[in-house]
Structure 1
Amino acid sequence: MTINQTLLFLPIFLLFILTTTNAQPFSCKASSKCTSMIDYVSPNDTTISNITSLFGISKNLLSYLGANNLPPTTLPSFPIKAKQTVKIPFPCKCANGTGTSDGVPVYKVVPDDGLFHIASEVFGGLVLYQQIQTANNISDPNKILIGQELKIPLPCSCDEVDDEPVIHYGHIVTVGSSVEGIAKQFDTTQETLLKLNALPAPADLKAGAVLDVPLKACKSSILPTSRDYPLLVSNGSYVYTAGNCVQCKCDAANNYTLQCEPSTMKSSIWPSCPNTQCGRVFLGNGTSSGCSSTTCAYQGYDNQKILTNLTTVSTCATSSPPSSATNISSLGWRWNFLLVAVQLVLLSLHLLQ
């Protein structure tokens, strides 16, 4: 028997005992695709390279750095301490009322592996072993092959929340957390979290649960025809878009308005990055004159060019309309003036007779 034919066994009674986990699928009504995020806590000291490799996002290092608000110059060898929580961005696909990761991660079975170990230890309890079993059409959860590649169905969603586009974030609940505290931390409401996660009451929140948290996205001028539409960026993070030629960041301090500027990265789709100016104004810059301010805003990109638009905003306070009392007073003065004028005309006519 070759090593690739070796069966890995985990006693069924042990699987039965060790099934307690708080990983649950997220609701996703619409059939769509998007980018989601999820927490990951590494059991050991590791590196960014190992984590992005595990989750199948090594080619998208900048997306990992942006999600964790790390400098874009951070090296893949950057250390991650054991028990440190990091955010993993990944593609999400919605179907049949549930969202799961689209194409990644794919895990290759090694000696002494078992489905429970892979779910609870390798992927930190982000999925149930039964979910891995179903996603890979495994008839017997006690039997997997060394070298077998397993799809790992991370929970996610692409649904709007309260008619607004959001980034669904799988947040691991820590000991001592509350629904109200999590809602305040991520600028949402307790009622929204309870509804999204089908929690009857705040007291039903459990430590270790993967909670669906809707992260508010910065407002942008991205056109529906742009290749990166909709470009959703959450507070405290950034993304590279338009073939890495544009960097956009989101900061709640800027009234949740997306801030984009030219990047210094090498383009991934063009020999060199196209022009990012609005006339004489560079992307992300603006000018002020009198009572108006103009800014060169990012609108997206197509196969040939980067789309921008020069937007003008009034910066001077508008004068308030006269009050009703002022209007009445002005009207009364006009009537008095008219009456006096009429009387003077009549008096003049009388004197001429």
Structure 2
Amino acid sequence: MTITQTLPYFIIFLLFILTTTPPTKAQPFSCKPSSKCNSLIDYVSPNDTTISNITTLFGISKNLLSFLGANNYPPTTLPSLAIKAKQTVKIPFPCRCANGTGTSDGLPVYKVVPEDGLFHIASDIFGGLVLYQQIQAANNIADANKILVGQELKIPLPCSCDEVDGQAVIHYGHVVPAGSSVEAIAKQFDTTQETLLKLNALADPADLKAGVVLDVPLKACNSSISSDSRDYPLLVPNGSYAITANNCVRCKCDAANNYTLQCEPSQIKSSIWPTCPNTQCNSVFLGNSTSSGCSRTTCAYLGYDNQKIITNLTTVSTCSTSPSSATKINSQGWRWNFLVAVQLVLLSLYLFQ
């Protein structure tokens, strides 16, 4: 076969490479410098695996409870639990912001094995959460085709710590499923289409592509945790929980409970203390409530320090607001005037019969 005959096949091959190669410029999450926080990102497993394998890959095996809480698995779930191929799980990780963008702080770290390449590591092993160019830049690799077996690579997962509309949120790297839309994602995660477009620098909802990691701000439950507490700010998104206070307290978030953080003893052995400190508010246990008339009093979690868990009784009104005195007076006056008018009409009819 001559060069002239093979040329059309070469052109077809070249076009295939150009159309299937990922973009050379990533779309990082914007983030104000010198910020640190906790973030989430999706991971879609390419094969059948286990929780243990996933937490090891992302360097969070020592923080198994944070993974279980992010995915709302029971705290007693074993690391050997099977995760099916194509199943999506959320990965919690620390985020650090610098130079206007955020990346994972210190983890995950991947060790190169034989036959590895940066493109394979980015697209196959880490499911396209990063581009190979990002791994190359994060590890100061001059030639993307030259990595060494045993070399440890930092994997810069995208993240952010910025407030959204003046509120602290958990930035969640959501892998857009096929057939989804900006409007559907906004509805699913209790945000707005406008917010998603602005955060992700999308000019039009039609610009959304399947497989892209979208920055989704997750609203966190309100809490009364003191700024002096070691876990401040404790941001827990809807449908998840966090184990805190050296494993002694479990705090969950449920939108159905008006986005109010609900904390209770975790029943887990403390990671620091010989036994978990007392969590009662006088005679009321943490998370429990008592009611009297229109008042409900709850033993709420306020945080912890090196020695104790801090709690306090909080009281809220459960009765509907009654009409104001002015409204009552106006209502009574209207009824009195009506009765007087009726009496005058009847008197007039009697007199002019």
2:226 aligned with 1:223: yes
Shift of 1:95: 1.1
Shift of 1:14: 7.4
Residue correspondence of structure 1 range 136-147 to structure 2 within 5 A: 136-147=139-150
2:213 aligned with 1:210: yes
TM-score (ref. length: structure 2)? 0.87
Shift of 1:314: 1.7
Residues 245 and 262 in structure 1, CA contact (< 8 A), matched pair in contact too? yes
Between the aligned partners of 1:66 and 1:103, the Cα distance in structure 2 is: 21
Aligned to 2:243: 240
Aligned to 1:269: 272
Residue correspondence of structure 1 range 37-52 to structure 2 within 5 A: 37-52=40-55
Aligned to 1:325: 330
Residues 26 and 134 in structure 2, CA contact (< 8 A), matched pair in contact too? no
Residue correspondence of structure 1 range 1-353 to structure 2 within 5 A: 18-20=21-23, 24-321=27-324, 322-323=326-327, 325-326=330-331
TM-score (ref. length: structure 1)? 0.87
Residues 46 and 124 in structure 2, CA contact (< 8 A), matched pair in contact too? yes
- Residue 31 of structure 1 aligns with an amino acid whose one-letter code is S
Aligned to 1:351: none
Q: Among the aligned pairs, what percent are the same residue?
A: 79
Change (3 A) 1:15 1:104: farther
Report the 3-state secondary structure (helix = DSSP H, G, I; strand = E; otherwise coil) of the residue aligned with 2:32. Answer: coil
Residues 168 and 214 in structure 1, CA contact (< 8 A), matched pair in contact too? yes
CA deviations on 1:115-162 (whole Å, 9 max, x unpaired) are: 111001110000011110111111111100000000000000011100
Between the aligned partners of 1:330 and 1:176, the Cα distance in structure 2 is: 61
Name stretches of at least 5 consecutive residues in structure 2 with no aligned partner.
1-15, 338-353
Residues 22 and 208 in structure 1, CA contact (< 8 A), matched pair in contact too? no
Between the aligned partners of 1:261 and 1:22, the Cα distance in structure 2 is: 46
Change (3 A) 1:329 1:271: same
Residues 24 and 133 in structure 2, CA contact (< 8 A), matched pair in contact too? no
Shift of 1:289: 1.2
Between the aligned partners of 2:170 and 2:202, the Cα distance in structure 1 is: 20
Report the 3-state secondary structure (helix = DSSP H, G, I; strand = E; otherwise coil) of the residue aligned with 1:145. Answer: coil
Residues 15 and 116 in structure 1, CA contact (< 8 A), matched pair in contact too? no
Between the aligned partners of 1:21 and 1:64, the Cα distance in structure 2 is: 31
Report the 3-state secondary structure (helix = DSSP H, G, I; strand = E; otherwise coil) of the residue aligned with 1:278. Answer: coil
Report which stretch shifted further, 17-26 or 181-190.
Answer: 17-26
Between the aligned partners of 2:26 and 2:189, the Cα distance in structure 1 is: 20
Residues 23 and 210 in structure 1, CA contact (< 8 A), matched pair in contact too? no
Change (3 A) 1:62 1:331: same
Between the aligned partners of 1:64 and 1:236, the Cα distance in structure 2 is: 13
Between the aligned partners of 2:117 and 2:277, the Cα distance in structure 1 is: 50
Shift of 1:187: 0.3
- Residue 271 of structure 1 aligns with an amino acid whose one-letter code is P
Between the aligned partners of 1:21 and 1:123, the Cα distance in structure 2 is: 17
Change (3 A) 1:329 1:77: closer
Residues 238 and 250 in structure 1, CA contact (< 8 A), matched pair in contact too? yes
Between the aligned partners of 2:176 and 2:17, the Cα distance in structure 1 is: 26
Change (3 A) 1:255 1:278: same
Residues 43 and 126 in structure 2, CA contact (< 8 A), matched pair in contact too? yes
